[in-house]
Amino acid sequence: MKVLVTGGTSGLGHAMAAALAEAGSAVALTGRSGERARSVAAGLPGAIGIELDVRDEASVAAAVDEAWSRLGGVDMLVNNAGIGMRTVNPRFMTDPQGFWEVPPESFRAVVETNLTGYFLVAREVTPRMLAAGGGRIVNISLNESTMRRAGFAPYGPSRAGSEALSRVMAADLRGTGVTVNVLLPGGATATGMLPPGSVPEGLTVLDPAIMGPPIVWLASDEAAGVHDERIVATEFEHWLQSRLR
C-alpha cells in the first residue's frame, strides 16, 4: 500500500505514518517544513518526507506530483494536516474566547488549513485515483462535542465542515472504486495542540498511537470497499467485531 499522510511530522499524523510504515506500507509524509518532513521520515522504515502547505494550491499540486512519482502512485490519502486552537487563543482550555473575540485572520487561517486544505489535497489526488481505477481517502476528524464547545471557534466549525465535506465526497465517489471514510481518536490526545498544564484534572488524554490499528486496517485488503464510515479509534475493536457478526 502506498500512502500519503499530510501533517505527518508530529501528533496523530506521525503516529499514523509510523504505524503504516511499520506495517509495510510505503509512506510519504508531509509538513510545511520540507527539512523537518525529511528528518522525521528518515526515522521510519522506507518513508519519504515532502514539503506541503495544504493552504496553497501550487504547493499541493507539487507535493502530490512528487509523492505520486516517488511512490509510484498513491493508493491511500490520509488527510490529517491541521492547526488547533492554540494558534487562535493560547489559553483556550482555561480562558475560552467568545467567537466575536476571534480575529478574522485567525478564523480564516484555521478554516483554510483544516477544511480547505482537505478539499485541495483530495481534489488533487482524486482524479489520479479515478484514472488508476481506485483508491482510498481517510479524513481525520474529532469528537462532535468539540464542534459545539464554547470557546472553540473556529476549530470546531472547521472540523464539522471537514465531516460534511467527507460525506459529500463519499456521495460523489460512491461506486467509483475510490472510497472515503472518517477516522477520529475518540477523545483528547497528547499532541502539541494542547497547551502544557492545561488538561483538567480527571480528563484522560489518549496516546496518538491509538490511531495506529484503525489506519493500518483501513489500508489492508480487509478494508477494500469499506465506504462512508465514521470510525472512532477508541471504539475500533468493538466496531470491527460488530462488522464480523
The per-residue pLDDT for range 102-161, each reduced to its tens digit, is 999 999 999 999 999 999 999 999 999 999 999 999 999 998 877 888 888 899 999 999
What is the per-residue pLDDT for 145? 77
What is the per-residue pLDDT for 85? 72
Tell me the whole-structure pTM to 2 decimals.
0.92
Which ranges of the chain have pLDDT less than 50? none
Domain annotation for the chain: domains and CATH numbers: 2-244 (3.40.50.720)
What is the per-residue pLDDT for 202? 54
- The H-assigned helical ranges of the chain are 11-22, 34-41, 57-71, 104-111, 117-132, 155-173, 212-218, 236-244
> Whole-angstrom Cα distance, residue 4 to residue 28?
5
Residues classed as catalytic: 155
Q: Which candidate, 144, 229, 243, places its Cα nearest to that of 186?
A: 144
- Which tens digit of pLDDT belongs to each residue from 187-199? 887 775 555 555 5
